[in-house]
């Protein structure tokens, strides 16, 4: 990456925190950080004003924002976000996995929400600036990483609803995270949700839009009431076609050994186009596992699982990488996937992907961006 401080004509103003954590405090926090609970010393902020474009890029101490109570984002949910990770590779360098794909998706989400695009180099430069100052927060333990959360909110003040905001705030915050599976990889039980839908044609399902999550919590609570870990979203029209699991994309394994093949639902516009999903579409064939992007109905899911034709199911996303699904429940009863334990294809893909991201496997696809 370039090392001068200007990007897209912007220079980052660096305001260092006066009360950074000491190395001892940081080491203590990195012991068992959980997920999204601990934050680094600094954050990036960049402002946008219609007519002026992006301006006032800053690295500043991590801390609360002062917002007018009539700020647009608080009323009309004009907010988008991204999620990616920085890893410490065995040689000590700091890298990220396909950050340009996150930058591109951020701008597709922005477009859907009538928000301004952020130049992609500014997106990656903000990560670089944060890592330059908070790089010591990237853990070096296996399966640990620094979760990066870029986001953008509408900052116009006023309650008018006839047009999108004319000013925005982009921010980047970072949170060291441990392994999602501290006690080993545990398969999840999922609930097929017919009472609620996540996304409808023409809606916002393909955007990483905060409101999609607000709309999902009730269904997730219902899944938990039914004794499940996660909700599975079905299509809005027929409640029959499988779309996603919570905030992750789904994969189905048919057959085993030499004959194993993979299926994932196609991107119809109501699914979030996961970068992990996209990476597996390339990685699985590299490993001799054919993939197809084809719809799966809940009837086929049950039939194939019960006949043994479907051998494994897993979900994928940045936070948990690959999560096996062991059991499925719905109004019509439940069924197991295989013996309910994580299967060999699931675990193989998980190891490959983690190996690539953490620099233990060669980067054959140019997916790694090295920051330091
Ligand atoms: C972020 C997200 C995913 C996974 O995307 P990745 O880029 O793989 O992390 C899947 N589904 C939803 C709804 C998401 O918000």
Question: Separation of 317 CA from ligand 1 center, angstroms?
Answer: 5
244 lines ligand 1 (CB under 6 A): yes
Q: Could you read off the pLDDT of 165-185 as tens digits, one per residue? A: 999 999 999 999 998 776 778
Domain parsing of the chain, residue ranges: 2-177, 188-357
Structure tokens of 126? Answer: 């903000």
- Collapsing DSSP to helix, strand or coil, 120 comes out as helix
* The pLDDT of residue 122 is above 70: yes
Q: Which residue has the higher pLDDT, 169 or 143?
A: 169
* The pLDDT of residue 2 is above 50: no
Question: Separation of 83 CA from ligand 1 center, angstroms?
Answer: 8
**What atom of ligand 1 comes closest to residue 102's alpha carbon?**
7
pTM of the predicted protein model: 0.96
**What atom of ligand 1 comes closest to residue 317's alpha carbon?**
8
Q: What Å distances lie between residue 38 and 27, 33, 35, 276, CA to CA?
A: 12, 6, 8, 24
Q: Could you read off the pLDDT of 311-366 as tens digits, one per residue? A: 999 999 999 999 999 999 999 999 999 999 999 999 999 999 999 999 999 999 99
Q: Could you confirm whether domain 2-177 is CATH 3.40.50.10140?
A: no
CB count in 10 Å sphere of residue 167: 17
Q: Give the mean model confidence (pLDDT) for residues 8-28.
A: 94
Task: Give the pLDDT confidence score for residue 179 in this predicted structure.
Answer: 81
Q: Which of 46, 39, 62 is nearest to 12 (CA)?
A: 46
Side-chain-facing half-sphere of 353: CA atoms under 13 Å: 26
Q: Where are the beta strands (DSSP E) in the chain?
A: 6-7, 10-11, 13-14, 42-49, 53-61, 79-81, 84-88, 94-97, 145-154, 167-177, 188-193, 230-234, 242-245, 248-254, 261-264, 291-293, 310-317, 321-330, 333-336, 368-370
Question: Separation of 271 CA from ligand 1 center, angstroms?
Answer: 9
Q: Which of 118, 124, 122 is nearest to 96 (CA)?
A: 124
Average pLDDT over all residues of the chain: 95
Pocket test for ligand 1, best of 80, 83, 199 (most atoms within 8 A of CB): 83
* The pLDDT of residue 272 is above 60: yes
Task: Give the pLDDT confidence score for residue 372 in this predicted structure.
Answer: 79
CB 137 within 8 A of CB 86: no
The b-or-e profile of 18-44 (16+ CB within 10 A means b, else e) is eebbeeeebeebbeebeeeebbbbbbb
Q: What percent of the chain has pLDDT over 90?
A: 93
248 lines ligand 1 (CB under 6 A): yes
* The pLDDT of residue 119 is above 60: yes
* The pLDDT of residue 5 is above 50: no
Q: Could you read off the pLDDT of 75-114 as tens digits, one per residue? A: 999 999 999 999 999 999 999 999 999 999 999 999 999 9
Q: Give the mean model confidence (pLDDT) for residues 28-38.
A: 94
CATH architecture assignment, domain 188-357: Alpha-Beta Barrel (3.20)
CA distance linking residue 6 with residue 59, whole number of Å = 13
* The pLDDT of residue 53 is above 90: yes
């Amino acid at each position: 990456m370039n090392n001068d401080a200007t990007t897209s004509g912007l220079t980052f103003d660096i305001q260092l925190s006066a009360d950074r954590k000491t190395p001892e405090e940081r080491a203590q926090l990195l012991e068992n950080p959980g997920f999204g609970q601990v934050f680094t010393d600094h954050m990036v902020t960049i402002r946008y004003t219609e007519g002026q474009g992006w301006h006032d890029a800053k690295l500043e101490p991590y801390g609360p924002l002062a917002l007018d109570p009539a700020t647009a984002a608080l009323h009309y949910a004009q907010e988008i976000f991204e999620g990616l990770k920085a890893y410490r590779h065995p040689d000590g360098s700091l890298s990220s996995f396909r950050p340009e794909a996150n930058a591109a998706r951020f701008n597709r989400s922005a477009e859907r929400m009538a928000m301004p695009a952020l130049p992609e180099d500014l997106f990656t430069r903000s990560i670089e600036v944060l890592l330059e100052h908070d790089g010591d927060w990237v853990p070096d333990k296996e399966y640990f990483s620094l979760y990066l959360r870029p986001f953008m909110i509408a900052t116009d003040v006023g309650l008018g609803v006839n047009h999108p905001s004319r000013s925005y705030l982009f921010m980047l915050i970072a949170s060291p995270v441990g392994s999602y599976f501290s006690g080993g990889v545990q398969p999840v039980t999922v609930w097929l949700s017919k009472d609620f839908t996540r996304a409808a044609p023409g809606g916002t399902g393909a955007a990483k839009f905060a409101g999609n999550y607000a709309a999902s919590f009730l269904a997730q609570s219902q899944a938990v009431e039914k004794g499940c870990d996660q909700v599975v979203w079905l299509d809005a029209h027929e409640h029959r076609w499988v779309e996603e699991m919570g905030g992750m994309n789904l994969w189905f394994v048919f057959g085993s050994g030499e004959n194993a093949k993979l299926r994932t639902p196609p991107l119809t516009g109501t699914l979030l186009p996961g970068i992990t999903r996209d990476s597996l579409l390339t990685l699985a064939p590299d490993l001799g596992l054919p993939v197809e992007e084809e719809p799966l109905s809940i009837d086929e899911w049950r039939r194939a699982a019960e006949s043994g034709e479907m051998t494994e199911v897993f979900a994928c996303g940045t936070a948990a990488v690959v999560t096996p699904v062991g059991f499925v429940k719905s109004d019509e009863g439940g069924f197991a996937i295989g013996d309910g334990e994580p299967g060999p294809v699931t675990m193989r893909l998980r190891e490959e992907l983690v190996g690539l991201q953490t620099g233990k496997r060669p980067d054959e696809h140019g997916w790694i961006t090295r920051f330091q």
